[in-house]
Structure 1
């Protein structure tokens, strides 16, 4: 399904994108993601397609707002039955609850359900309308970290089973990783769109890269281009990267590298390709890893598994040598722009 919506107020948006199976639109808070969903649902004035010109109640859309908006005075089955008509409303509602794994919770009120269970009740209610498109607003916002992955796996499996295309908006890159298709919203437009595997590997701009979790972003200049790749100078550091036919020596570029793609190496390898020796200036424990800041000719953010520190705590002021493989060095021609990811 192709979506194209233009919105003037309360923010300016001009969004064109594809919705395929479970699609995630990723963007910063305040970028207008929730407003886009309300426009598609017919809840605020906008120009666009599909469903343009139809009143909200006439649009074949299921909509799950943040918080799910369940009626607190109605039981689970009554919430699901609310949009249904006819004498068999209860049977239909019970069937839908059973399909989302909540048949035994049908008599419970929302305050007696967990966050994940309330989400599935809201999903069943949205699907009761037999929608052609399902809209989810920040579906991870009410979920705790301990059960988030399990609940999301169940949610995505359920919407796949129903065969309804889904557009979920979020600022959570983790949800985007689980999508069939994704897009990034920047400055009111789609900055990049494609398969998550492609986009997380090859962002088209520094803005997209930051949203996708890249913490290392450096200005550089292309020094050499050959059939095997290129060399980019970043703060005096020659970095080898993979080949790109559209770049030439002398061009200003942006280099982005994931924190987890830096690895420790021996000082004896300091002259090897893509090795830099820097001073450790900051560290903190982050789960089962260390989040490390290294300073020298440039500042590097590194995520290091604690087991790689061979049982000793890193010490501020130590000199570390780090390496990054050429295939993990992403060279971007410019900040911004719009692109479909390669391979889509």
Structure 2
């Protein structure tokens, strides 16, 4: 009887009934307040905890969907790069880590490029995904950032970057560090094209990404509580062996010390980005204007003309340049003339007799 109750009946019951499995991420605990939040509600609220306003990290695809109109965008293809040029191996092979990261995130690498419309205006945006090996900057990520900037130049649109990274990818060595100057040059190309480059610093933005393209934007926006730094607070504290101020290297601390321009809640981020893009792209003549000298004289107020000065009240079709009466040659700053004057002064002092010292001095 016991055999029937303990073995046979449970076997039959297991065939007739199916066990319901509860997902691991059904409920999420807020690290700040300890509040338990239903995952679907958290996702619908852009991963912001309703009570504490704690900002969880977002994936790259979710970032772009919340940015573009209707949540629709076109993924821009990125040039392919060698997957494991150094044949790197630590505890595991680097190629295996890449496969796992791709399976988890459904991304080719840490940066996703998308193009679409933001309140009707065309925009190119890049989003880093921290889930992909900590959003680290490698060859593929560097190529993606550069390709996105070049696409913005091609379409003459603003470029928006959502930064989230732990820094350069150590598995690619110097090839990873090489992306820092390469992306910096791409930022310079954007500036030469006179197109807005807006950076949204999310948690965390650290290391080589902070030391390169993430801090070279025209406007820097940070999400509340985001960690933004080169070396982390624990590293600094262990190095200098001193207690750091509360909130050190967080977005609010950096805003107070002038390192970023604004801290914006995630719910207001899209509206803020749209307004900034409209303001910076309002005068289309800014990108079309050509430098012009005053009466053929290549100087304006003593400085050589190298770019046009645009009147923001002008029309897009007008070529508006602020002209000024040129400064005379004798009034213009000339380093060689200053050097000659200083040399003559020194020679005059050396020729004049020195005063005799009094006794006892």
- TM-score under structure 1 length normalisation: 0.31
* Structure showing the higher strand proportion among its residues: 1
Task: Give 1 or 2 for the bigger CA radius of gyration.
Answer: 2
TM-score, normalised to structure 2's length? 0.30
Higher relative contact order (CA 8 A, sep 6+): 1
Q: Whose helix proportion is higher, 1 or 2?
A: 2
